[in-house]
């Protein structure tokens, strides 16, 4: 079984976010980048299939050269090889189109990705990718078993969970539950050394006409100061909630 794991290169959630050029570009100065947390769940599940069922695992990212350390970390965790599509990730459809070309050229049986990236939270790439490829698709996946070409999938839905079966090829959008957080892997020294020798192939993007353009970014409004109210002063509390907060 050939598995492709889609890796997003995202800012660490503890990083301070700023914008430049009149709020039209993201300022990367001083920002630590990591593997998208949802993609880590997908990668860890792929490693289970590699170790238990002999699957091969390739990781892929759509991005410029600065994303390569993130791919190297995925190789250090245990992926066999990596692919970087040499173009900036601009919007979800563009990324899905580039990933689809990689899947077609590589003949992958199973494509794993996080359900969304932690920077833009678009949640659109896995479904778009499945549509372009005409593959079956499972979203918000919390469990995945493969037996030959047959798959059993658990997913979260509104108000509950569902279990259904499918067959390869598949695109899976995973989340916590696909593996547990305690099962996520930290690269050890041996893995880091081996990752330096594993292939990281750079491929050029397919031609694509962008249909969307980001015009500017805006930070959320800063939180107002906390106003303390004496526990016995219920009238003042009600007045503040009604006249200032306007929630009642």
Calculate Rg over the CA atoms of the chain.
21
Name the residue among 128, 150, 147, 148 with its Cα closest to residue 139.
128
* CB-CB neighbours of 37 under 10 Å: 19
User: In whole angstroms, what is the distance from residue 230 CA to residue 54 CA?
Assistant: 64
Task: Say if residue 189 is exposed, middle or buried (CB neighbours under 10 Å; 0-12, 13-18, 19+).
Answer: exposed
Distance between first and last Cα of the chain: 57
* DSSP bridge pairs for 136: 170
Whether the CB-CB separation of 138 and 110 falls below 8 Å is answered with no
Helices marked H in the chain — which ranges?
A: 37-53, 68-77, 92-106, 125-133, 189-195, 234-243
User: In whole angstroms, what is the distance from residue 127 CA to residue 246 CA?
Assistant: 39
Walk along the chain (248 residues) and give the pLDDT tens digit of each residue.
Answer: 999 999 999 999 888 889 999 998 889 898 999 999 999 999 999 999 999 999 999 999 999 999 999 999 999 999 999 999 999 999 999 999 999 999 999 999 999 999 999 998 899 999 999 999 999 999 999 999 999 999 999 998 888 899 999 999 999 999 999 999 999 999 999 999 999 999 999 999 999 888 888 889 998 888 778 888 898 899 999 998 999 888 88
Whether the CB-CB separation of 98 and 205 falls below 8 Å is answered with yes
Q: What is the pLDDT of residue 246?
A: 85
User: In whole angstroms, what is the distance from residue 167 CA to residue 147 CA?
Assistant: 9
């Amino acid at each position: 079984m050939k598995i492709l794991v889609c890796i997003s290169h995202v800012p660490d959630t503890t990083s301070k976010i700023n914008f430049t050029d009149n709020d039209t570009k993201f300022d990367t100065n001083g920002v630590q980048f990591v593997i998208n947390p949802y993609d880590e769940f997908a990668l860890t599940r792929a490693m289970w299939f590699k170790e238990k069922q002999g699957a091969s695992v390739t990781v892929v990212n759509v991005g410029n050269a600065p994303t390569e350390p993130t791919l190297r970390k995925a190789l250090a965790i245990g992926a066999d090889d990596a692919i970087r599509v040499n173009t900036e990730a601009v919007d979800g459809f563009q990324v899905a189109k580039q990933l689809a070309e990689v899947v077609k050229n590589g003949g992958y049986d199973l494509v794993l990705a996080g359900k969304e990236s932690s920077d833009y939270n678009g949640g659109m790439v896995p479904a778009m990718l499945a549509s372009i490829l005409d593959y079956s698709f499972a979203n918000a996946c919390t469990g995945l078993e493969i037996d030959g070409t047959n798959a059993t999938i658990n997913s979260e839905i509104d108000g509950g969970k569902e279990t259904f079966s499918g067959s390869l090829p598949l695109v899976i959008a995973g989340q916590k539950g696909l593996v547990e957080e305690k099962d996520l892997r930290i690269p050890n020294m041996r893995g880091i050394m081996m990752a330096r020798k594993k292939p990281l192939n750079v491929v050029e993007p397919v031609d694509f006409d962008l249909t969307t353009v980001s015009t500017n970014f805006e930070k959320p409004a800063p939180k107002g100061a906390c106003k303390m109210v004496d526990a016995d002063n219920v009238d003042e509390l009600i007045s503040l909630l009604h006249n200032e907060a306007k929630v009642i």
